[in-house]
Amino acid sequence: MKKKLTIGLFGFGVVGQGLYNVLSQTHGVKAEIKRIAIKDKSKTRTLPQELFTTDKTEILNDPSIDIVVELINDHEAAYAIVKEAIEKGKHVVTANKRMLAENLEEFYELQQRYGKSILYEGSVCGSIPIIRNLEEYYDNDLLTSIEGIFNGSTNYILTKVFEEKKSYADALLKAQELGFAETDPALDVEGYDAKFKLVIAIAHTFGVFVKPADVINIGIDKISATDLKYAKENNLSIKLVARAFKQGDKVFAFVAPQFIEAHHPLASIRNEYNAVLVEGAFAEKQTFVGKGAGSYPTGSAVLSDVSALTYGYAYEYKKRAQHEALSFSNDLRVEAVVTFEDQHSVSIKDFETFKSGYAANGKQLLQGILTLAQFKALSERDGVSVLLAANATFSPIAESVPEDLLAS
Amino acid sequence: MKKKLTIGLFGFGVVGQGLYNVLSQTHGVKAEIKRIAIKDKSKTRTLPQELFTTDKTEILNDPSIDIVVELINDHEAAYAIVKEAIEKGKHVVTANKRMLAENLEEFYELQQRYGKSILYEGSVCGSIPIIRNLEEYYDNDLLTSIEGIFNGSTNYILTKVFEEKKSYADALLKAQELGFAETDPALDVEGYDAKFKLVIAIAHTFGVFVKPADVINIGIDKISATDLKYAKENNLSIKLVARAFKQGDKVFAFVAPQFIEAHHPLASIRNEYNAVLVEGAFAEKQTFVGKGAGSYPTGSAVLSDVSALTYGYAYEYKKRAQHEALSFSNDLRVEAVVTFEDQHSVSIKDFETFKSGYAANGKQLLQGILTLAQFKALSERDGVSVLLAANATFSPIAESVPEDLLAS
């Protein structure tokens, strides 16, 4: 039986306002916003002043509030709010991917201990119902991989750069104007935002908690004119791809730009759209596409979480029970394309296996197999751009013999 | 709390065997198949004979069986099984779209009366979790349209005809060999199969029960060489599109082949893949892509329903409560492309509004606005092929004044 729920909302930015509008227009969600905690009470609001407060205890200490919806930017303040809300017996809905990614294991334990839910569908790919489907629909499938375009802002930039030949800076500015971009653009363009989402998705795909700091992210900020030229000549596009997959008892995961063939399902994902490709033993290949950013798409996901709380929904982290032996690893070889202008930047020796290369007008391109660590290291050299090759294959590095065995 | 469930299975064809394999390989579904009812006991089976029976009462009258999984071909026999199972207090899982589409309103009422579930995720677009998402994730969104490629067999044929220049007959044969096609190919190629799925989807998108006989379906069996030539010259593909949408208090729905522009999300859906595009006020545009046919994809959906029954899941037909005033209508104008060889087959007068036309080498093409009734009537003329135009617009025909009002 659905019961009427009372919401305390933290933050009244674009998503919070979206939620408020959606809640007031839709039928059937038995929930109302009682109080909205904000930072700056002097801002002009379209709603009655008495709804707002700058004192978080007016929500956290109010026993009539069942759900805290946390939609603020500051991930550290958000962490404190979520933790205190759960400890005070409230459910939480949040879309704060950084905070979730950094604290997911603790939040898992807090949910078990206090018997309250933390739901966060809006944190991963906006309106795409990926977490719920991983939990419920694929609860018994043996999933082997999840990958996709997890950041709308960079995909918007790449679309504009490719299709409208806009400059990178112009495209970024436009993405910010349209409200797709994070306040700190580095979170988007350096691949952190996609990584936070990937870390959350991994918990529900493979049942493994991974620290964001352990996952390699390479962004789109160093993509070169040579990369664009190579893409056009080979009928490829470039996408920032987040991926995680299982091989044996290991889970591998990373975020990196990649050349994408025209027929690939990600090739047609344009502008601020996100896409998630899930592969499992039984459902085989599934694709989900939807808007990854913006006030309504994220507000819709948050609303769906609120609605789920009216019938007592909680994530069970079902894959965790199934795959206890899986562990995260970066011991992987990848196939990469490396471009640079200064001929001394990169040499064939930087590759484990060199495949091909060319140089023209001072611009160089090398392709070959690298370890993930080498790939990351090259990405950090000045004037060097690295991308995964189109249809890159990935092969785990066989485990070396443990040192204690060698010593014996 | 999940409880262990006992399954009686009807049918052991490709999907039934898929389910059996999936159930025996996967972890965590607390359900086992106790009995399998089959038609022909003399066939060689890979499982112990004592599992099989040809007497349906051995399942229906067995009080230890909680769930009947119905996976037989014969829709009339399936109807009798589903009805009796519910009346005897069992839950039902089925993927029989024709039977469901024709009896959905009665099944809705039976579920209410007996307090048992009929789940049928596998009936619509195989492995794509569309029913569950319409029910749960979009439970509070104001959905405005659902459309897509709902039949894998015709999409496979169209892909082969377009990309590999196979003949229509060869492509159909290959689809049948691969197990995508219905036993009666007319169900696929004339658009019936897609229509049954559409009727089921409409119940969960708009809360309206529509009779399949009231929904117009036009297939791909009359697509002409002129259509293919026109498509290639204009960089279009052809897809069999099922669609339903809401305008005002009316729901419109039909299945028809359509020219699709290269950038359209359906353009990249190839072979036996299905796609569903959902549009709502808040979630905006969402796309789901997955395999629509085959033993594992459908088996996976059936398994997911079995799994949902272990925690007491039932469809609530949530949109029904929200939209009681909606009604189904065919009073619509559509933009169509009509091709034919005999110059007397079609004339400009057959259109409400004629837009353009050309004739060459005895082949003719006319484009313009038709009512849905005219569109259907033209599709039935000998030697005439009709398709919806690329990006066709649809406009409701304003309601005429009711006759009783005219009389008063």
- Which CATH number do you get for residue B360? 3.30.70
Closest Cα in chain B, distance from residue A289 (Å):
5
Substitution target in A15, A130, A132, A140 with the highest count of B β-carbons within 10 Å is A140
Residue A3 banded pLDDT, cuts 50, 70, 90: low
* B403-408: long-range contacts, CB 8 A cutoff, minimum separation 24: none
Number of Cβ within a 10 Å radius of residue B184: 12
Question: Which of A213-227, A393-407, B50-64 shows the lowest mean pLDDT across its residues?
Answer: A393-407
Amino acid in the structure at residue B104? L
pLDDT for position B323: 64
Structure tokens at A8: 């305390």
Contacting residues of A for B296, CB less than 8 Å apart: 281-284
- Position B2 scores a pLDDT of 54
> Which residues in chain B are contacts of A281 at CB distance < 8 A?
25, 296
Residue in chain A nearest B301 by alpha carbon: A283
**Chain B environment of A5 (Cβ under 8 Å):** none
Q: Which of A131, A184, A129 is nearest to A153 (CA)?
A: A184
Rounded distance between C-alpha atoms, residue B97 and residue B13, angstroms: 16
Question: What mean pLDDT comes out for the span A284-307?
Answer: 87
pLDDT cut 70: percent of chain A above it: 96
Specify whether A84 is located in the same domain as A155: no
Q: What integer is the mean pLDDT of A304-308?
A: 91
Q: What is the pLDDT of residue A336?
A: 97
> Which residues are registered as beta bridge partners of B143?
B280
Residue A261 CB neighbours (<10 A):
13
> Tens digit of pLDDT for each residue in B249-261?
999 999 999 999 9
Q: Is A217 in the same domain as A175?
A: yes
A4-8, A161-165, B43-47, B389-393: least confidently modelled range: B43-47
CB A246 within 8 A of CB A356: no
For residue A284, give how far its alpha carbon lies from the nearest alpha carbon of chain B (Å).
Answer: 7
Shared domain for A86 and A187, answered yes or no, is no
Q: Which of B122, B104, B106 is nearest to B204 (CA)?
A: B104
My answer on whether A14 and A96 are in the same domain is yes
The residue count of chain B comes to 408
Å between B106 CA and nearest CA of chain A: 24
Per the listing, tokens 């996901």 go with A301
Residue B220 lies in a domain: no
The Cα–Cα gap between A168 and A181 comes to 14
Residues of B labelled as active-site residues? 197
- Could you tell me where the DSSP H helices lie in A144-246? 152-163, 168-177, 185-189, 192-205, 225-233
Helix, strand, coil percentages for chain B (3-state, nearest 5): 35, 25, 35
* Domain shared by A263 and A152, yes or no: yes
Distance CA A371, CA A241 (A): 18
pLDDT of residue A401: 44
Residue A182: Cβ within 10 Å count: 19
* Dist CA A242 CA B391 (whole Å): 33
CA A398 to chain CA mean position, Å: 29
CATH number at residue A69: 3.40.50.720
Is B236 inside a domain boundary? no
The Cα–Cα gap between B83 and B86 comes to 5
% of chain B residues with pLDDT over 70 = 96
The winner for highest mean pLDDT among A306-315, A318-327, B309-318, B332-341 is B332-341
Which residues, in sequence order, are bridge partners of residue A252? A245, A329
Q: Are A206 and A342 found together in one domain?
A: no
Structure tokens given for A113: 């201990």
Q: Residue B139: its chain A contacts at CB < 8 A? A: 28, 304, 307
Which chain B residues contact residue A318 at CB under 8 A? 28
Q: Are A326 and A246 contacting, i.e. CB atoms less than 8 angstroms apart?
A: yes
**What local confidence, expressed as pLDDT, does residue B185 receive?**
85
How far does the CA of residue A354 sit from the closest CA of chain B (Å)?
34
Q: Is A128 on the interface with B (CB under 8 A)?
A: yes
Q: Which of B140, B284, B294 sits opposite A291 (nearest CB)?
A: B284
CA distance linking residue A263 with residue A32, whole number of Å = 46
Residues 6+ apart with CB under 8 A from A164: none
- Mean pLDDT value across chain A: 90
pLDDT score at B324: 65
Q: Is A391 helix (H, G, I), strand (E, B) or coil?
A: coil
- Does residue B97 form part of some domain? no
A133:B133 CB<8 A: yes
Condensed to tens digits (0 to 9), the pLDDT of residues B127-168 reads 899 999 999 888 777 899 999 999 999 999 999 998 888 888
Q: How far is CA B277 from the centre of its chain?
A: 13
In chain A, the percentage of residues whose pLDDT exceeds 90 is 68
Within this chain, do residues A207 and A273 fall inside the same structural domain, yes or no? yes
Q: Answer yes or no: do A77 and A176 share one domain.
A: no
The secondary structure of residue B100, as a DSSP letter, is H
Q: Do A292 and A150 meet the contact criterion of CB atoms below 8 Å apart? A: yes
User: Based on the domain organization, do A140 and A24 belong to the same domain?
Assistant: no
Domain count of chain B? 1
- Integer Cα distance of A36 and A54 in angstroms: 8
Query: Residue A184 — very low, low, confident or very high, per pLDDT cuts 50/70/90?
Result: confident
CA distance A256 to A205: 20
Q: What distance in Å separates the CA atoms of residue B302 and residue B120, rounded to the nearest whole number?
A: 7
**Residue B340, amino acid:** F
pLDDT confidence tier of residue B399, bands split at 50, 70 and 90:
low
Which residues 134-173 of A have a C-beta within 8 angstroms of B? Answer: 136-142
Q: What is the pLDDT of residue B22?
A: 75
Residue B215 tokens read as 């929904």
**Confidence band of B44 (pLDDT split at 50, 70, 90):** confident
pLDDT in tens, B278-296: 998 877 889 999 988 777 8
Cα(B400)–Cα(B408) distance, integer angstroms? 15
Distance in angstroms (rounded) separating the CA atoms of residues A344 and B383: 69
| Residues of A with active-site annotation | 197
Closest among B219, B231, B230, B164 to B190, alpha carbons compared: B219
Residue of A nearest to B305 (CA): A137
**8 Å CB contact of B27 and A322:** yes
Give residue-wise pLDDT tens across range B2-16.
Answer: 568 999 999 998 888
What are the backbone angles phi and psi of residue A38, rounded to the nearest 5°? -130, 165
pLDDT at B47 over 60: yes
| pLDDT score of B353 | 93
Asked if residue B366 belongs to a domain, the reply is yes
| Structural tokens at position A366 | 């090398």
CA distances for B79 relative to A5, A107, B33, B197, angstroms: 41, 47, 21, 16
- Which residues, including other chains, have CB under 8 Å from residue B336's CB and lie 6 or more apart? B367, B368, B369, B370, B375, B378, B386, B387, B388, B389, B392
> pLDDT-based confidence at A141, cuts 50/70/90?
confident
CB atoms within 10 A of CB B226: 21
Reply yes or no on whether the pLDDT at A399 is more than 70: no
Query: Would the CB atoms of A282 and B267 count as touching at under 8 Å?
Result: no
**CB-based contact (8 Å) between A276 and chain B?**
no
Backbone angles phi, psi at A359, to 5 degrees: -135, 135
**Predicted pLDDT of residue A18:** 79
Q: Does residue B406 carry a pLDDT above 80? A: no
Q: Answer yes or no: is pLDDT of B93 > 90.
A: yes
Burial of A21 (0-12, 13-18, 19+ CB in 10 A): middle
The CA distance from B210 to B171, in Å, is 32
Q: Work out the average pLDDT over A12-35.
A: 83
- Does residue B219 lie in a domain region? no
Q: Are residues A140 and A284 in the same domain?
A: yes
Q: What digits encode the pLDDT tens for the residues A77-122?
A: 999 999 999 999 999 999 999 999 999 999 999 999 999 999 999 9
Tens digits of residue pLDDT in B107-125: 999 999 999 999 999 999 9
Which of B267, B289, B304 lies at the smallest CB-CB distance from A287?
Answer: B289
Collapsing DSSP states into helix, strand and coil, what is residue B394?
A: strand
Does residue B382 form part of some domain? yes
Q: What is the pLDDT of residue A323?
A: 64
For residue B264, count other CB atoms closer than 10 A to its CB: 19
Contact B304, B29 (CB under 8 A): no
Q: Report the pLDDT value the prediction gives residue B184, as an integer from 0 to 100.
A: 80
**Distance from the Cα of residue B91 to its chain's centroid:** 23
CA distance A295 to A318: 30
Q: Determine the structural domain holding residue A387 and report its residue range.
A: 332-407
Interface probe with B: pick from A19, A139, A282, A285, most Cβ of B within 10 Å? A282
Interfacial B residues in 246-275 facing A (CB < 8 Å): 263, 265, 267-268, 270
Chain B residues with CB under 8 Å of A29 CB are: 140
Residues A259/A234, Cβ–Cβ less than 8 Å:
yes
Residue A333 pLDDT level (bands cut at 50, 70, 90): very high
How many Å separate Cα A401 from the centre of its chain?
35
Q: Do A136 and B308 touch (CB under 8 A)?
A: yes
Q: Establish if A317 touches chain B: CB-CB under 8 angstroms.
A: no
User: Residue B401: is its pLDDT beyond 50?
Assistant: no
* Per-residue H/E/C for B125-160: CCCCCHHHHHHHHCCCCCEEEEEEECCHHHHHHHHH
What's the ipTM? 0.79
Evaluate whether residue B388 is within a structural domain.
yes
Shared domain for A260 and A134, answered yes or no, is: yes
> What does the alpha-carbon distance between residue B234 and residue B219 come to, in Å, rounded to a whole number?
22
Residue numbers in B near A302 (CB within 8 A): none
Residue A214 is classified by DSSP as G
Give the confidence band of B402 by pLDDT, cuts at 50, 70, 90.
very low
Give a yes or no: residue A41 inside a domain: yes
Query: Could you read off the pLDDT of A335-355 as tens digits, one per residue?
Result: 999 999 988 889 999 999 999
Q: Is there a contact between A284 and B127 if contact means CB atoms under 8 Å apart?
A: yes
Structure tokens at A35: 């109080």
Check whether residue A273 and residue A163 sit in a common domain. Answer: yes
Which of B1, B128, B137 to probe by mutation at the A interface, max A CB count within 10 Å? B137
Per-residue DSSP letter, A352: S
